[in-house]
Structure 1
Amino acid sequence: MKKKLLLILILFLAAASVAAGLFARHMARYAQMPVNPSLDRSVKLVIKPGQSFKDVTAMLREKGLIKHPTKFRILAVYQKATTRIKAGEYRIPGSMSPNRILRQLGEGRVHLHRVTLPEGLTIHETAQRVADAGLCEKSEFTRAATNPELARQMGLSAKTTEGYLFPETYYFEKPVSAETIVRTMVRRFQGVFSDQWKQRADELGFSVHEIVTLASIIEKETGAPEERKTVSSVFHNRLEKGMRLDSDPTVIYGIEDFDGNLTRKHLRTPTAYNTYKRKGLPPGPIANPGQASLHAALYPADTPYLYFVADSENSHYFSTTLKEHNRAVRKYQLNR
């Protein structure tokens, strides 16, 4: 009787071993086999903080990324992945296997939203770019970027972050607050504006805020890299002589709801940013300058120029005297 029981036990264990082996092979194939091997389209999956693994599994099945929730949970338990899933927004290719899905969710490889800021955007234009990237509402970004308390917390001697939202390509994961986006852009500016540049500003007799303001004007006056230092020299020379800057972009910045048509009335209307009516720099930046314009503001070319006007070659003609400048205006602007 004992021998018979022992034989039954041996057969049972052998069968269990075979079954376990078959199940292990089956699960190994399952782990590597995507539901839709030929599907290139990515599926958006948003996992909220505190969401259970059961809920995540249900979402994956609903979106067609897995077919067998029980097998998926068994695989996750075996890999000790049920408690490692990280919250965030994911883009999962339809051709991804269950094994790779678990790895992506466990490593928190969330989808990053890209926003590219070219040089010379204002706060409001930057806000639109951020909104277009789907990161936050335009009004939310504008509110954060113009918050004096946030500017103070970041060490800016300004009431807003205008001029300090550094032009670059950024990547953010969602959800992200407008304040976090603003802080990231300002920190990038602070990383670029080195201690050497701060020392150079001091040597020139300018504060950092004044250099940023001047750089923003240079940025708006010319997009030609080879002209930036020459344009900078004109403004430095005018400031040194106590002349008004006479910069159209500063006037435009001070016009509410500017329609694209700069008129004589605009030039004659006194505002804090009308450098045809006020001497010196305006109270703050008129845009967010890039590294090249910041460098040009700090290291202007050594020229005697006091004037410039756009010429027919999409660049500028520079003059030393008003007489020469007026001739250039007649030639290039008035077609005389």
Structure 2
Amino acid sequence: MKGKHKARFLSPVILLLLLVGGAGTIVVAWFQPYKNYPEDEKFVQITRGAHSPEIAQQLEREGIVRHRALFLAYLKTVKRSGRLQAGEYRFDKALTIPQVADKMIRGLVYYHEVTIPEGFSLFDIAELLEQRGFATRKDFLAGAARSDLIAELAPTVSNLEGFLFPDTYRLTRGATTDEIVRGMVERFRQIYSRNLELEIKQNSLSLKEAVTLASLIEKETSLDEERELVSAVFHNRLKKQIPLQCDPTVIYAAKLKGGFRGEIYQSDLGLNSPYNTYRFPGLPPGPIANPGLKSLEAALKPAKVDYLYFVSNNSGGHVFSTTLDQHIRAVAAYRNGLRLESKKAAQKQGRS
């Protein structure tokens, strides 16, 4: 009875193995490197909850193993068939069945480098991750609404805007949206504890206010040497209770209402949104983007200058002014520069 029971239990595997050869041939086949795909590299996504037979069939179909029965027999032999881990795997050369199995048992999934640029908003990050295939826009925005993930540091925020630190992340296709969001928040926490915590405790700004101000600085200039100057302008205007009149806040307000038309129109300056710093004094109710470390530091340490205004200098930087008259002249020079650039472009187009 015991022998018969054993034969019945092993018969499905034995029948499959007989298709690919005898027992000795099978063992040899395990250790023969195999690759049956034309590309230089092949990515295979193993879904969560997939069982060994499904995975073996997928590996055979993708040309990673010669036959699914060989793979399953090896797993049964080493008694590790239930330990294959989900995720995306990269194959770029012929591997033996033990090598393939070891790779998947150890969970050596492939990680993609994804860079979140400084100044990206929640919406920008959502679009980037959707384009790269890591999350849908809807799912990411839902995950970024988890204000509880930062509640003990910034208890009054309504979402994670400003707290998803811009950096290069290593993401796998198997990662959930929650894992991606938590990773970005964790990176912010590291930056906070290492670079900002002591300064925040000695500053009149709360963390939420500092991150909000830093997001405005980040959107206004990409030049490191200007960040503290822009910060000074905003600090000085706040002290004098002058509206910040920060154009990026108007753009953000328009995007929240779904009505941004690619540039700011006069009508946008009257938007009834607390993010519109032309209409509402003080800081907006929260960050408008996710600032980098240099903007965060600049928000806490503004330059010691009396500037109240700045405008583009048509060369990637800005002209800073203390008085309104100075600013008006700087704005006139900026507009004149735009007209000259437009004229040159028209002349160049005419010659071509």
Q: TM-score, normalised by structure 1?
A: 0.83
For structure 2, list consecutive stretches of 5 or more residues without a partner in the other structure: 1-21, 340-352
Q: Distance in 1 between matches of 2:234 and 2:29?
A: 70
Q: After superposition, where does 1:7-18 map in structure 2 within 5 Å?
A: none
Q: Name the structure 1 match of 2:333.
A: 331
Q: Distance in 2 between matches of 1:324 and 1:159?
A: 39
Instruction: Report if aligned partners of 1:37, 1:95 keep a CA contact under 8 Å in 2.
Output: no
For structure 1, list consecutive stretches of 5 or more residues without a partner in the other structure: 1-21
Q: After superposition, where does 1:146-295 map in structure 2 within 5 Å?
A: 146-148=145-147, 152=151, 156-194=155-193, 197-255=196-254, 256=257, 257-295=259-297
Q: Distance in 2 between matches of 1:36 and 1:179?
A: 36
Larger C-alpha radius of gyration, 1 or 2?
A: 1
Q: Name the structure 1 match of 2:5.
A: none
Q: Distance in 2 between matches of 1:134 and 1:114?
A: 13
Q: TM-score, normalised by structure 2?
A: 0.80
Instruction: Report if aligned partners of 1:76, 1:102 keep a CA contact under 8 Å in 2.
Output: yes
SS at 2:320's partner residue?
strand
**Residue 331 to residue 277, structure 1, CA distance change in 2 (3 Å):** same
58-67 or 161-170, which moves further after superposition?
A: 58-67
Q: Distance in 1 between matches of 2:143 and 2:37?
A: 45
Shift of 1:210: 0.2
**Residue 38 to residue 55, structure 1, CA distance change in 2 (3 Å):** closer
**Residue by residue, what CA displacement relative to the aligned partner does 1:197-233 show, whole Å, maximum 9, x if unpaired?**
2332343311000000000000000111221111111
**Residue 263 to residue 54, structure 1, CA distance change in 2 (3 Å):** closer
Runs of 4+ in 1 over 6 A off after TM superposition: 22-26
Q: Name the structure 2 match of 1:110.
A: 109
Report the number of matched residues: 314
Q: Distance in 1 between matches of 2:37 and 2:194?
A: 54
Instruction: Report if aligned partners of 2:307, 2:322 keep a CA contact under 8 Å in 1.
Output: yes
Instruction: Report if aligned partners of 1:43, 1:63 keep a CA contact under 8 Å in 2.
Output: no
204-213 or 85-94, which moves further after superposition?
A: 85-94
Instruction: Report if aligned partners of 1:39, 1:95 keep a CA contact under 8 Å in 2.
Output: no
Instruction: Report if aligned partners of 1:217, 1:286 keep a CA contact under 8 Å in 2.
Output: yes
RMSD: 2.7
Q: Name the structure 2 match of 1:319.
A: 321
Opposite residue 274 of structure 2, the aligned amino acid is A
Instruction: Report if aligned partners of 1:254, 1:273 keep a CA contact under 8 Å in 2.
Output: yes
Opposite residue 232 of structure 1, the aligned amino acid is S
Q: Distance in 2 between matches of 1:179 and 1:38?
A: 36
**Residue 39 to residue 33, structure 1, CA distance change in 2 (3 Å):** farther
Q: Distance in 1 between matches of 2:172 and 2:83?
A: 18
Q: Distance in 2 between matches of 1:75 and 1:205?
A: 65
Q: Distance in 1 between matches of 2:302 and 2:202?
A: 13
Q: Name the structure 2 match of 1:7.
A: none
SS at 2:83's partner residue?
coil
Shift of 1:156: 4.3
SS at 2:278's partner residue?
coil
Shift of 1:316: 0.4
Q: Distance in 1 between matches of 2:279 and 2:307?
A: 21
**Residue by residue, what CA displacement relative to the aligned partner does 1:136-159 show, whole Å, maximum 9, x if unpaired?**
211111122124555548864301
Opposite residue 48 of structure 1, the aligned amino acid is R
Shift of 1:282: 1.0
**Residue by residue, what CA displacement relative to the aligned partner does 1:36-67 show, whole Å, maximum 9, x if unpaired?**
4985231424143251x333222222222222
Opposite residue 104 of structure 2, the aligned amino acid is L
